Structure formats: structure tokens, C-alpha cells
Chains A and B, each alone.
Chain A
Amino acid sequence: MNELLLVVTIAGERVALPAAAVESVVELESLIPVPRAAPHVAGLSALRSRVLTVIDCMRSLELGDTDCSDGIREAAVVELDGHHYALIVDLVEDVVEAGSDPAPVRAAMGTGWERVSHGMVETEQGPLLLVDVAALVAGVEAKAAA
């Protein structure tokens, strides 16, 4: 099991994204809001003539708002069904190798985390929550509708 994981911090929590899904890590400068879109859609941004839909991970996890006022935000760019998304994270830390298959987390997590959880993986930096990117992008409402 040699899957690479991107370790990021969301809402102060260190979690892992599957590195294969992440195209790049960018610093977002401008953010164009999308009025009336779901709350976790922070807006649109452009990256090399592509439009990125920016997802506020904190809001997607129902953990409050990311403060975007200070300008530059770090984000992980992922592609899903032909659309590109930028996931706003607090910090991009490192790439580590997964040491195990994801295992269910038996302890009680927050509902937001529960929804996006793919399970827990062992890494050399200790156990990390593997986040389901699609669930993160879908946000709260899509889940409720499904």
C-alpha cells in the first residue's frame, strides 16, 4: 500500500487527501463570489485560463467560515467530473505515504467529518483521516437531497 497522501490542515485538524486526486496546490488571489450558490461554494477563481470553483472546506464541514479577508489562501486543486475545484485549506503540509488501508473510525467524529470520511489511515506521522474529495465538494445540501 503505497498510496501518497497530501497532508493538509482544515479547521485546525490535520487530514489527508489522496495525492492522486490533487492536481496542484495553488495560492488563490482573487475570488469572485457566486450569488445564491450553496454556502460552501466560496466563489470562482481563475487558474491558467481555467475557471476554478472554490470550495470553502470549513463551510462544507459545517465548521464555520474560512476567513478569506486576508487575501491569499492556499488551496488544493482537484478535478471531478470534468470540473476543477479549489479546496480552501488552512495549510498544505506535506506528502506522506499511506501505511495502511483506510480503516473505519470507531470513535465519534463531528457530523461534518463523518460525512466526508473515507476512514483512517496509518502514516509515519500517525493516524490521519482520509477525506473523500467528492463529498467535500458536494457539501451539505447535496447529501441532504440524496
Chain B
Amino acid sequence: MDDLIADFVAECREMLEALGGEIVAWEARPDDRARLDSIFRFVHTVKGNCGFFEFPRLEALSHAAEDALADVRAGRRHPDGALVSAVLAVIDRIGEMVAAIEAGEDMPTGDDNHLIDALAPGAEGTAAPAAAAAEAATRASSAPRTIRLSVELLDRVMSTVSDMVLARNELARRLRESTSDVPVDGAFERLSSIIAEMRDAITRTRMQRIENLFVGLPRMVRDLSAELGKQVLVDIEGGDVELDREMIEMIRDPLTHIIRNAVDHGIEKPAERLKVGKREIGVLAVSARQSGNQILIDIQDDGRGIDGKRLVEKAIASGVVGKDDAAQLSPRDQLALIFEAGLSTAKEVTAISGRGVGMDVVRSNVERIGGIVEVDSKPGEGTRMTLRVPLTLTIIPALTVSIAGQHFAIPRSAIEEIVRANGESVTLEHVGGAGVATIRGRRVPEVSLASVLGLESNVSEQDRTLVVLRPAGGDVYALSVDRIHDHEELVVKPAAPAVMATGLYAGTTLADDGSPILLFDPAGIAAVGGVKLEVQERTARIAEGPASTISKATPVLLFRGLDGGRRALRLAVVDRIEEVPASAVNETAGQLRVQLGESILPLAGASASEIGEGKVRLFRLNDGLHEIGYAFAEVIDFATIEHDVIHSERPGEISGVSLVNNEPAELVDAHWLFANHTAAAAPKKEELVCLIPDWDPWMQNMLRPLVEAAGYRVVDDAENEKADVVIASLGEELPEDASHKTIWLRTEPEAASKKDFSIYRYDRAGLLMALKSAGAGRGK
């Protein structure tokens, strides 16, 4: 919140400074519409922000000034000297208050009513703010912890750094050619790394995740809807899109305005919603995504929509369009009228979004950064506003690939996976001349980059690599490229129109060696490559059986273990399949381990004697933190578990048996694998032990993962180990033992009596708390 207030103060100060000249000019010529508009926007912005921060006095002042100015703008009132003075007095008072907020002091005392009264038509006398202003000036301003830099300066620094990188590369070439001198090389290496660091830092200064912009929205909407007696659910998506810092600042206000409007005018009151058959809670979806060389921010509500006809009537009434022109407007143009100054379909003026002033400000702000605002609305169904802002100077993590010796970049956000065309579970087929790749049973259209670009590739089709792409809002397809190179973070700049006209590229960028690289637009390639895009993914799965209900089924990988057993492993935990020479598998520190590249993973699914000569194939399993290998003989198929699972009696590598493709298969318990093998890989010094009765299936199946996740090693009665915590059902007989704590669980949500310290067995938070406090007691 403090940050937001600091932003607000900084914004107000900047506006006040800029306004200084405007106010004087307006005083001289009260008829000057442009000056009036900028003063109006200032008080409007202040008003908007005050509602959010709860500065009631500021809000009252700015609202009063806004009302008076709105009358002037609408031509209902003539700006006379008294009004000008009154407005100026209000702006001065706002300035004082902002200074007080900045210094963290209390608001200057005094009554604002006379200032507000002075705004009323025909009011006599003017306020004298001079004394107060002088007092404000003498106040010591608190030391600033941040400085504001102009983006031009940052740009200049950035381009200098880029030049520096190029100069370094040139120097590197020269150094390689000349006889090498170790001290010189060392110094050069250091210079190199400093330059790289600097480039990174300066690039980062400009970038921000759009999350920073979104983070305040739920609160704002909550407050707004509470104030208006509405119920609104905010759904935010795409917070990880990175955007130029300046861009984020520039779209902050427009976005706030649009959301205010959506909540205030778009979404109806609960009773009204129920009447028209909608859920009483309105949904406001805010999403950001990158599309080509633009960032799209959608703000969609399911409210009453915009009445285009009424907009037209209003526009005619206020003289924005002529009657004849109005008749010619398409529905889209009608909606676009919302962006004209002084138009609003709201019947009443409210404190929230006012009188349609927001939207002209929104449009001018967005257009200033080269963006576009679009509106689409269906009466009764809702409104969608789309902000399109350019991606200029946006950093994109990208994968560089090459085709016919030329390098290109693909935005990493669109990449689903990368597979080799001649890999294990990949087949390439041609259907009527079109390429179709089958990747682990999923059929995806294949686009050959060489043919899309019209380049000759000397890499045969089978030796290429397939990059599986999912463009924003599009369908999956596989792009075949000659070679994959590197992951890089690229600063993308828009390409010239003649290049963009191809539809294939999102921009250009410079590689580290200074040569230009083209960045692909995955959706564009799909379009040019003839991939039929659909809104929903409809890649066909190879049919498993006539009645496979995908929604309920769990996808598994069916395989044969080294001992010949038919087993299944949940697909989600399998990262990829590796093949290593048998020599990479060793028994070390009491555990079979496999070396994969530079890492050593615990190996499950095999004993030392089962690892023969030659190659060992293994699944690489990942739980997000640890990786383990699981050796297998062959992959049978992809399948889904549709039948009931018969759970094994004791926890172990196999959690149960089920029918998979009409034959029984053992289900490998990945949880158990990780619990055992990673614990063995990195044993904790002080492991807490929790005793859970082994005869209780609920505890073993439901509770055990939770306890283990809380950092406990779980044992059962049979194991003769000292437990730190014992979990038992209420009513169970347990021998008294002071060496451990006991957590009692009950099956009813309500406690039987006040003395009952038991925890309801589905009270997750309560359980975790109890486990945590038990563990903390032990740690001492």
C-alpha cells in the first residue's frame, strides 16, 4: 500500500508541476478548452485515486472541482473569474495535502467547506490559499529513496551498452587472432563478464512483470463492488507477461478506468442479474497475453453491455456527430463513440467512474504509446475491452533454431516441448502431402520451416527436430527445424513494415555477435504453413476404446519393467526418457545411482544385478524439486486408468493394481519413490518421525502424504522406532508415553466437548498446525 501511495504522490506532484503553467494560462483565458481539459483530468485522476486510498477530504475537494468543471465542459456554465479562483484554491489545497501525505504528516487542519462552497455557481468571495502554500513550502521534504529517470536516458544507456557488447565482440575476435597473452585474456574475461552483467541490469531496469499492475486489481474491485452493492469476481490471467516498465505505467490509468467502468456501469446489481437469469456474482476477467508483436490485455465483464443506439443519441445530442453521419455508423463505430469526450450511457453520475470522461482519457493515453483500445459489446451479455500495446523493447525468452544455416528465434512462451523427429515415440507421416507428427499418441500437424520459408535444407526430414508450439489462442502444431541452438533472452524490436508484411515475424533482435535475428510469430507461421487453427484444442488422441471418458481417466505410461512386470506410471511425473550406457549406473552409498550429464540421480526400478551390459533406458521423474531415474525395459503404450484401482496392502513401490488396456498392470507409486529415494539421496539431519497406524487405510492413503509433505518420516506400528508424533483416531486405546505427542483425529466436524482437543480429520490447516507445533517442540 505504501508503494501505491508513493506512486500516487509522485503522480500528483508531476501533474501539479505540469499543471503550473496551464493554470496560469487558464486564468488568463478561461475559455481555453485544452487547458480546461487538462485541469479537469487532473482533478478526475485525484478523485479516482482518493476513492481507492481513502482520503475523504481530498476526494470531496476533487469531486466538487470536477463537478464544477464538468458543467463548464458541458457548456452549462461559463467560466468566470470567481470559478477560476475557486478551482485554483482547490488545486492549491490538493497540493498541500499531497505534500503532507508525502511527508507522512497529518493532513493540514482547516475546513474545506468554504473552498467547496466557493465552487458553487454565483458564490461570492475567493479563498486565499497563499498563506498556506507558503507554509507548505517551508516544510522540510523527506529524503527521497528513489529517483525518477527519464526513459530516454535509460534508452541511451541501453544502446550504449549494446554498442559496448559489439565492441567487446570485435575485441574478442582480434584477441583470438593475435598471439594470446594470459594476463590480457584474464582482464578481457573480467571486462566481458562485467559488460554482460551491466547489460543484464540495464535491460532489467526497463522490464516489469505485468503482475505489478494486476496485483492491486482484486482489492480495487472488491472495494468498488462493496461500495456499489454488487458482487464481482475477478479472474486474472497472464501476470507473467513482461512489459516495458514505461508501458506498464502508461496502461495503469487506462486499465483502472476501464475496470471501474466495468464494475460501475457494466455489471448489474445482484437482484437485477438474477432477474435476467445470470448468476448473481458478476465475473470480470482480466487477462494479458502476447500476440505477435503486441501485448493484449482483455478486460471482459458479463454485465449489461453497452447500448450502441443510446450512445448514438447521446452523441447527436452533444454534437459529437451529426444526425446524417450517425445514421451511417456501423454497430462497431457506434460502440467506438464511447471514446468520445463527454459521452456516457450512465444515467446517473456516480462517484466511481463519473460521466464518461474516463474513456477519452483512456484512448488518448493508450494511443500515446502506440496502442489501440477496442471495444466489443453485446447488450445483455457483457463488454470486452481490449488494450493492444506494442511489444517494443520487450524482452522475450527465446529459443534460437537454425534452418539452412540461418538462425531464427522462437518465443519460448509458445513452446510446449521439443522432440527429435526420429525419437522414441515420434513418427512422421505424410497425409495427402501434409505432414502429420504423432508424438506419444497425439497427432499434431507438422509444418516444415524449410518449406514455409522456401529455403533448401540439407538436413533430412528424419534428422530434424520438432518444436511443438502452441501459439496464443491457437492450436498445437509441430515445427520442424534443422537444429536447436540456445535459449536466449532477446530484446525484440519491431521490424520494418515490409518485413512484418510477411506475417511470419514478430520482430527483429540482435544476437550476441551483433548479427540480426528474426523472431518468429508462431501464430503467423501456422497461418502461412496452412495449419488450421481452432479456438479449442482438438488434437486427436488415438482411440483407446469405444467408451473412454477422458475427463475421469488418468493418463499413464504403460511399460515393462526390467523384471518383466507390466507396470504403469502417471504420465505427469515423467519428465522424459533417457538412454544411458550401463556403465553410468553405479551402486554408491547404498543406493543405485545413474549419471545423467552432470547430475547424479537415484535410480529406482532396478537392482544392481538387473543392470546388464549395453544400454539402460530410464524414465526421468520429476517432482519439481528432485529428480530420480526409473529403469525400464520397454514402453508398451500410453493408456488411461479407467478401472478401479485395487490398492496394495502396504506402502511400497507399487501402490496398487488396475486393469489397463484390459490387462492388469501394477501402478508405480511415484510418491513413495520420491519419499524413499530422495530421502536416501539427501538424508535430513533431524528427521521427525510420525507414527500412523498401518491398519487404518484412511490414514495411510489420505493422511500420509500430508504428513510426509510436512517433513515427517512416517512409520507404522510394526516398525520399532521412536516416534516424535503419533496420530490416532479418537477413541482408540493408546499406551501413555510422554516421549511423543499425540494428535487425535475425530470424524465429526464439531468437537464433542470443550475438553476435546482432537482435530477434525479434514481440517487441513489445523492438522498442519498441530504437526508443525509438535515438530517445533521436538527441535529444541
Contacts and interface: CB of A to CB of B under 8 A. Distances in A.
B166 to A, nearest CB: 6
A38 B501 contact: yes
Interface in B147-206: 159, 162-163, 165-166
B351 to A, nearest CB: 41
A44 B508 contact: yes
A40 B509 CA distance: 21
Interface string A62-106: 000000000000000000010101000000000000000000000
Contacts of A143: none
Contacts of B166: 46, 48-49
A68 to B, nearest CB: 15
Interface residues of B, number: 30
A76 B734 CA distance: 91
Contact of A49 (B494, B502, B510, B528): B510
Interface in A24-55: 30, 32-38, 40-41, 44-46, 48-49, 51, 53, 55
B163 A34 contact: no
A55 B496 CA distance: 11
A53 B493 CA distance: 12
Given A35-B455, A38-B498, A51-B508, A46 B514 contact: yes
Contacts of A55: 498
A32 B516 contact: yes
Contacts of B501: 37-38
B162 to A, nearest CB: 4
Interface string B474-511: 00000000000000000001111111011011001110
B515 A41 contact: no
Nearest to B501: A38
A49 B406 contact: no
B441 to A, nearest CB: 33
B518 interface: yes
Contacts of A46: 166, 510, 514-516
A137 interface: yes
Contact of B406 (A32, A38, A53, A139): A32
B527 interface: no
A111 B684 CA distance: 81
A44 B518 contact: yes
A37 B501 CA distance: 7
A127 B528 CA distance: 46
B515 A48 contact: no
Contact of B499 (A34, A45, A48, A81): A34
A36 B510 contact: no
Given A41-B498, A41-B499, A44-B508, A34 B528 contact: no
A40 B579 CA distance: 49
B564 interface: no
A36 B504 contact: yes
B453 interface: yes
Interface residues of A, number: 25
A94 B732 CA distance: 102
Nearest to A81: B497
A12 B89 CA distance: 72
Given A35-B454, A36-B504, A49 B498 contact: no
A32 B495 CA distance: 13
B496 A33 contact: no
A136 B504 CA distance: 23
Contacts of B493: 51
B455 A51 contact: no
Contacts of B163: 48-49
Contacts of A38: 498, 501
A83 B496 contact: yes
B496 A53 contact: yes
B457 to A, nearest CB: 12
A13 to B, nearest CB: 23
A51 B504 contact: no
Nearest to A137: B498
A45 B517 CA distance: 9
B390 to A, nearest CB: 11
Interface centre among B453, B495, B528 (most CB of A within 10 A): B495
A85 B497 CA distance: 11
A85 B518 CA distance: 16
B516 A44 contact: yes
A36 B453 contact: yes
Contacts of B508: 44, 51
A35 B514 CA distance: 20
A37 B492 CA distance: 19
A33 B406 contact: yes
Nearest to B158: A49
Contacts of B502: 34-37
Contacts of B455: 35
Contacts of A83: 494-497
A51 B159 CA distance: 12
Contacts of B498: 37-38, 40-41, 53, 55, 137-139, 142
A35 B515 CA distance: 16
Contacts of A41: 496, 498-499
Given A49-B162, A49-B163, A37 B499 contact: yes
Interface in B116-150: none
A32 B515 contact: yes
B516 A51 contact: yes
Contact of A34 (B159, B162, B515, B518): B518
B453 A35 contact: yes
Contacts of A32: 406, 515-518
A49 B496 contact: no
Nearest to A84: B496
Nearest to A45: B516
Contacts of B499: 34, 37, 41, 44, 53
A139 B517 CA distance: 23
B514 A36 contact: no
B120 to A, nearest CB: 49
Contacts of A37: 498-499, 501-502
B375 to A, nearest CB: 27
B528 A36 contact: yes
B19 to A, nearest CB: 30
A133 to B, nearest CB: 13
Nearest to A36: B502
Given A35-B453, A36-B528, A49 B518 contact: no
A41 B516 CA distance: 14
A54 to B, nearest CB: 10
A35 B406 CA distance: 10
Contact of A36 (B159, B454, B495, B515): B454
A17 to B, nearest CB: 18
Interface in B506-550: 508-510, 514-518, 528
A51 B453 contact: no
Contacts of A49: 159, 162-163, 165-166, 510, 514
A35 B498 CA distance: 12
B334 to A, nearest CB: 29
A34 B453 CA distance: 9
Nearest to B493: A51
B504 to A, nearest CB: 6
B642 to A, nearest CB: 47
B293 to A, nearest CB: 13
Contacts of A48: 163, 166
Interface in B550-591: none
A85 B496 contact: yes
Contacts of A85: 496
Given A35-B406, A48-B163, A49-B166, 20 more contacts: A32-B517, A33-B406, A34-B502, A34-B518, A35-B453, A35-B454, A36-B452, A36-B502, A37-B501, A41-B499, A46-B166, A49-B159, A51-B510, A53-B499, A83-B496, A85-B496, A137-B498, A138-B498, A139-B498, A142-B498
5 contacts: A35-B406, A38-B501, A83-B494, A85-B496, A142-B498
A-B CB proximity, top 7 nearest? A35-B453, A49-B162, A53-B496, A44-B516, A83-B496, A51-B508, A36-B502
